[in-house]
A and B are shown apart, each in its own frame.
Chain A
Amino acid sequence: MSYVGIIVTFVFVQNFALNRLLGICPFIGVSRSPGTSLGLGVVITVVSALSALAARTVYHQALLPLGLTYLETVSFVLIAVALVRLLGETVRRASPGLHAVFGGFLPLVTTNCVVLGIALVVVRDGYGAAESIVAGLAAGAGYFLALGLMAALRDSLRKEWVPKPFRGVSITFISAGLMSLAFMAFDRALLKNLFG
């Protein structure tokens, strides 16, 4: 698949939060304020691109030749843990200001479904190295987009009257459902018409 195709697929057609239902806990729980969503979105985009590349490399260079494919889950989880720690340290040394803004989100990302999910998807669909990075970035960006839309939506919902039992999480779920319906406009047929 072309790079543009990969980007459109992961950002719109198979949006991780709205279509594949990955990373829902922070999507529903964290998207309360725009600032938090921004921080989490950026961190997830970076980590999922790195994790997709690392997982793909480890799988094809180490696990497959050695016949250790059953270690897939364990090694991908470890990759995420290692990446998050490495990234945290690097950013802290290189730019303390940046670390102050984004550092707090890093531990949250270790067990995020998006990060492990993209690693599994990239390996199962047999993506190349460059394709994996693009797919990781696109999946993260799509998730970021969904988080941002959700935060904006919650912000406007604050001004509206909502029936009591629906206040808080319930209305967020329902808004997410409607957003997911809207995203269904982006389907495989559209992708095919656009990119052949």
Chain B
Amino acid sequence: MSRRNPVFAMLLGLCPALAVTTRVDNALGLGAVVVLVLALSSLTVSLLGKHVPENLRTPAYIVIIASYVTVVDLFLRAYAPGLSKNLGIFLPLTAVNCLILGRVLIFAQDNPPGASLVDAMKSGFSFFCALVLIALVREVLGAGTITLFAVGPFRGVLVIPLLSENPVRVFGLAAGAFLVAGYLKALYDRLVSDEETGERES
């Protein structure tokens, strides 16, 4: 959780952060997709540099991002059909994730490839952490389980004894997503404002 966390500080990429976080494995999956797409797009845009005409920049970047999303989408459909199905339309929607477009427009287009890759990894990782944190809270409270990926004899689901019998179902629903995000944001603001005062608006 960095001070400039994309989800909690800048409110970027909220749709997937709220929508796919009903289960931890979905959050891990989408988080990884975003990190990968962000890194690849940043690298590509940074290498293209100034070759793209000014008025075509945004469309060009969107197409670059959408192409990488398509590649990842096809890859997941072939090798992880379950995850691909769970993510549903939120996987193609990564193409218009404002975090990715934001990093590409603000950072990658004016910076060398190395620095852009580092920046992409940093933002991507904070996004990944935020996603997993929200999912952890929602799944533990909403279903009393932690779903990970099945490896060998491990079935992939950790069951929390008391909670799984009496889960608070609302946390698994859309309403729960907003509530958890609200409380985590308040916690985040509290922690951050302890470090640095001022500058927080509204």
Report which A residues bind B (CB closer than 8 A).
Answer: 18-25, 28-29, 32, 70-74, 76-78, 80-81, 107, 110-113, 116-117, 120-121, 124, 163, 165-174, 176-178, 180-181, 184
- Closest chain-B Cβ to A164's Cβ sits at a distance in Å of 8
Chain B contact residues: helix, strand, loop or mixed: helix
Query: Please, how many angstroms separate the alpha-carbon atoms of A32 and B201 in the complex?
Result: 13
Given A78-B59, A170-B189; A113-B202 close (CB under 8 Å): no
Pick the interface stretch among B11-19, B26-34, B39-47: B11-19
B93 and A120 form a contact (CB under 8 A): yes
B181 contact set on A, CB distance < 8 A: 173
Report which B residues bind A (CB closer than 8 A).
Answer: 11-15, 18-19, 58-59, 62-63, 66-67, 69-70, 73-74, 89, 92-93, 95-96, 98, 101, 170, 173-179, 181-183, 185-187, 189-190, 193, 200-202
A111 contact set on B, CB distance < 8 A: 62, 96, 98, 101
A116 and B96 form a contact (CB under 8 A): yes
Most chain B CB atoms below 10 A, which of A18, A28, A178: A28
Query: Please, how many angstroms separate the alpha-carbon atoms of A81 and B89 in the complex?
Result: 19
Query: Please, how many angstroms separate the alpha-carbon atoms of A23 and B93 in the complex?
Result: 11
Query: Please, how many angstroms separate the alpha-carbon atoms of A110 and B58 in the complex?
Result: 10
Closest 8 CB pairs of A and B: A173-B182, A177-B178, A174-B182, A177-B179, A21-B19, A170-B186, A180-B175, A24-B14
B63 contact set on A, CB distance < 8 A: 74, 77-78
- Closest chain-B Cβ to A78's Cβ sits at a distance in Å of 7
A28 and B11 form a contact (CB under 8 A): yes
A113 contact set on B, CB distance < 8 A: 15, 93, 96
